Amino acid sequence: MAEITLNESNFDKEVLTSDLPVMVDFWAVWCGPCKILGPIVDELAKDYAGKLKVGKVNVDENNALAGRYGIMSIPTLKFFKGGKIVGEMIGAAPKASIEEEIKKHL
């Protein structure tokens, strides 16, 4: 399962009430580090299919969501479990570092 495009209308259903832990990538089209992180997020979505839900929020199209979660710089990865934020990574990071964070929340 590939990542899910999240927006204001599906965020609560897909993230906050998810049975699986969720990693949400807050990003924007114009963001250089987001372009670096994008393919890594795609790979992780495939690697952890069935164990972790992966979603992406375009902050330009969903600025109320970005505001709700205090996104000050992008890319930001937020990790949700049981409807609560359990972790966060700001900035582009190598796949191994993100995997370490994922494993804490599975």
Catalytic amino acids?
Answer: 31, 34
**What gap in Å lies between CA 90 and CA 68, rounded to an integer?**
16
- Per the CB < 8 A criterion, the answer to whether 6 and 57 are in contact is yes
In whole angstroms, how large is the CA radius of gyration of the chain? 12
**What gap in Å lies between CA 43 and CA 86, rounded to an integer?**
22
- Per the CB < 8 A criterion, the answer to whether 78 and 24 are in contact is yes
